[in-house]
Chain A
Amino acid sequence: MRHWTELDFQHWLYGLKDEDSHLAQCAECRGELERLKGQRRRVVAEPEVSQDFLAAQRRSIYGRLEAPRHHWHTWRWVLSAAMLLILAVGVTMQLRHKPAPAISDEQLFSDLSAIEQSAEPRAIQPMHSLFEQ
């Protein structure tokens, strides 16, 4: 007498194997088969949902569908405007605080020295030609 193997039970579950005469003789294998049958019944059974629950759910859905959407529309525009405003302020502040291009000490103080050493404004330099010769 050969007991059903795990593979045999799996084949039976998937409909690949029929119940045979061994099950009529072997209480152990028959017990295992009954256990599997019970487990399968529980898995495929429809969940128990009361009619009241379903009715309440339907009423809730219809209620939301029929509620005026005007409220959400208003807030959508307000939120969009606020986001745009925040974005604009952020970009403006970023541009305002954009660091000036770096300049080396050498270049900066060379420029400053040149300004300091020039005795007169650049605008009057063309006048020099009037006094030359």
Chain B
Amino acid sequence: MRRGLVFLLLLCAPLAAQMPKGFYAWWGRPEIRKDLKLSNEQQRQIRATVTQFRPHLIELRAEVNKAEIDLAAQFDHDPVDQAKADQAIEHLIAARSDLTRTLSQLSLRLRVALTEEQWQQLQRLRPAPGQGANQPNEYPQQK
């Protein structure tokens, strides 16, 4: 049983490494498009995928922000209503989970549009921890 859990964790580790942490709009940066040597068809496919996901992502961002505000309101409430606070926590977890799922699905769709080499190159350009999502490793901040 324990061995199975360890195996499962090991299996999940690479997946977690590729989760959309440090996610940034790399497809909108000309230097990255050039570096990856994206074809016109790839660029069209990527743009179409992002355009398809955008409305839902905007909704999810609003949903998470609303859930954060609701939870903060429950924390500020005196006396604290345990049931409502629990409900707000569950709502926030659900919204964040939905966001993670959607971002992961988008990442996967974008990954499929890339070749293995392009994917590896994009990984190298991924922002370093603490560097911020707006600034990938090898390029300065865009103005």
Question: Do they bind each other?
Answer: yes
List chain A positions with a Cβ less than 8 A from chain B: 100, 103-106, 108-117, 121-124
Q: Could you write out 26 A-B pairs with CB less than 8 Å apart?
A: A103-B58, A104-B28, A105-B27, A106-B24, A106-B25, A106-B142, A108-B58, A108-B61, A109-B25, A112-B20, A112-B23, A112-B57, A112-B60, A112-B99, A113-B21, A113-B23, A115-B61, A115-B64, A115-B96, A115-B99, A116-B20, A116-B21, A116-B23, A116-B100, A121-B68, A123-B71
Tally inter-chain residue pairs, CB-CB below 8 A: 70
Chain B nearest CB, measured from A73 CB (Å): 50
B75 interface residue (CB < 8 Å to A): yes
Q: A110-B133, A112-B103, A115-B96 are in contact. Are A122 and B25 (CB under 8 A)?
A: no
Q: Which of A108, A117, A124 contacts B22 (CB 8 A)?
A: A117
Q: Which residues of B contact A103 (CB under 8 A)?
A: 58
Chain B nearest CB, measured from A6 CB (Å): 80
Q: Which residues of A contact B20 (CB under 8 A)?
A: 112-113, 116
Closest to B71 in A: A123
List chain B positions with a Cβ less than 8 A from chain A: 19-25, 27-28, 50, 54, 57-58, 60-61, 64, 68, 71-72, 74-75, 89, 92, 96, 99-100, 103, 133-134, 142
Q: Is the CB of A112 within 8 A of B61?
A: yes
Q: Is the CB of B25 within 8 A of A105?
A: yes
The distance in angstroms between the C-alpha atoms of A35 and B61, with both chains bound, is: 93
Closest to B70 in A: A123
Q: Is the CB of A116 within 8 A of B58?
A: no
Q: Which residues of B contact A121 (CB under 8 A)?
A: 68, 71-72, 89, 92
Chain B nearest CB, measured from A63 CB (Å): 64
Q: Which residues of B contact A104 (CB under 8 A)?
A: 25, 28
Q: Which residues of B contact A112 (CB under 8 A)?
A: 20, 23, 57, 60-61, 99, 103
The distance in angstroms between the C-alpha atoms of A121 and B90, with both chains bound, is: 11
Q: Is the CB of A106 within 8 A of B134?
A: yes
Chain A nearest CB, measured from B18 CB (Å): 13
Q: Which residues of A contact B68 (CB under 8 A)?
A: 121-123
Q: Is the CB of A113 within 8 A of B24?
A: yes
Q: A112-B57, A112-B99 are in contact. Are A117 and B21 (CB under 8 A)?
A: yes
The distance in angstroms between the C-alpha atoms of A121 and B21, with both chains bound, is: 17
Q: A117-B21, A123-B68 are in contact. Are A110 and B58 (CB under 8 A)?
A: no
The distance in angstroms between the C-alpha atoms of A104 and B57, with both chains bound, is: 13
Other A-B contacts than A110-B24, A113-B23, 4 sampled, CB-CB below 8 A, are: A100-B58, A109-B25, A115-B64, A117-B133
Closest to A114 in B: B133
